[in-house]
Amino acid sequence: MRLFSIRFIFLIIPLIMILIIILYVNSHQNIKIGFISDFANDGSEMSIYSRNAAIIGIEDLNKKGGVHNRKFELIVRNITDNNNELAGIIEELVKNNVKIIIGPSVSRQASATLKAIKDREIIVISPTISSIESSNIDDNFFKLNTSARDEGTELALKAIENGNKSFALIWSYYNNLYTGAVIDGARETLIQKGYSILIDLEFTNNEDSIEIANLIKLYSVDGVIFAGKGDHIGQITQQISRLGINCNLYANQWSKSTDLLEHAGRSAEGMIIADVFSYKNPDYLEFSRKFYSSYKTDPVPSAVLTYDTLNVIFKIYENIEGRVTASKIKKFLLEDFSFEGLSGNFRFNKYGDAQRDELMFSTVVAGEYISYE
């Protein structure tokens, strides 16, 4: 019996040691964070800004020691509008022990992402998507951005506040789940308030810019609300200036980019743009300094929202005890979470959509973006 006990001890000790080693290794493995976005098609500029902000966010978190002796690791994957390809990427990330994915960047890819993560043990947090089609759904898809419709509403209210009486609503067909929702919010607000919408136009390509500017001149509107990419809006704005049209210009958050400034030139001066941060925020200024130092350009809203997403993820891993699962993450974000970041204060509603205290604005002065007061 004694011999049996000795043999048992010698057998069980190695097993215990192996278990201890496994537990130690697992507790010190990097926390893998997925990042999915389209780097090849229209909207790639936003994807690049977001990825670069994610890299800075990961570096900042790891410089602080990570969380619970674990460092963060970013796994970046390019996605397209091919739904099968996207599903394969999601499956790969799940198998790679990724619990949280950042992305995608554009609203047209929200539906395919929702399908790809259905019944999977994973959480997706999009910094930028704001279309209504992905809102008010009980799922594992969270959004940091203001809803597109609310963005349009606030742009219209700002235009009314500035004394504009007659309007042109101009939006891009590209990514129209988002751009159309922005204009829906603006249109509904203007109609409810009794203001005239003389032009209500969706455009499909860059060649439309001269025709659109001529239409604005013909109807003599005093306020134009845009929803589209920066380069498209910049080209139309340039044509408006060349025709000598005197009107106030308002644009959606997505348009705010170096492309807008490069294509519009001086014609962008005074444009009012929906935004997510204040240039007077000291934390933003520090982030902006790091971003410019690394990439020689200033951050845009997608970068700011992505950096905030990384800090949300840090809080998740800092606060959840034991094994981190999708159900625990969802419970934490829906029940116990409130956050103050570069993009202001927010919390998630029961559907995972961010609820913010206010929408901010920026404007263009001397070829640069500044906060609009």
pLDDT, average across residues 310-333: 93
Specify which of 24-33, 153-162, 173-182 reaches the highest per-range mean pLDDT.
153-162
Answer for the pair 109, 141: CB distance below 8 angstroms, yes or no: no
Answer for the pair 108, 177: CB distance below 8 angstroms, yes or no: yes
**Residue 9 confidence class, pLDDT cut points 50, 70, 90:** low
Give the model's pLDDT for residue 23.
Answer: 42
CA distance linking residue 209 with residue 206, whole number of Å: 6
Q: Class assignment of domain 28-146+280-357?
A: alpha beta
Q: Is a pLDDT exceeding 50 seen at residue 26?
A: no
What strands, in cross-sheet order, belong to the sheet with 344-348? 339-341, 344-348, 354-356
Total-model pTM: 0.84
20 CB-contact burial (10 Å; exposed 0-12 / middle 13-18 / buried 19+):
exposed
The proportion of the chain whose per-residue pLDDT surpasses 70, expressed as a percent, equals: 90
CATH superfamily for domain 150-275: Response regulator (3.40.50.2300)
Give the model's pLDDT for residue 47.
Answer: 92
Q: Is a pLDDT exceeding 70 seen at residue 339?
A: yes
Q: Is a pLDDT exceeding 50 seen at residue 25?
A: no
pLDDT tens string 58-109: 999 999 999 998 999 999 999 987 778 889 999 999 999 999 999 898 888 8
Give the model's pLDDT for residue 164.
Answer: 97
pLDDT tens string 111-155: 889 889 988 999 999 999 887 666 667 789 999 998 999 999 999
pLDDT, average across residues 233-259: 95
Give the model's pLDDT for residue 6.
Answer: 55
**DSSP per residue, 62-130:** HHTT-BTTB-EEEEEEE--S-HHHHHHHHHHHHHTT--EEE---SGGGHHHHHHHHTTSS-EEEESS--
Where does the chain hold its CATH 3.40.50.2300 domain(s)?
28-146+280-357, 150-275
Q: Is a pLDDT exceeding 90 seen at residue 221?
A: yes
Give the model's pLDDT for residue 20.
Answer: 44
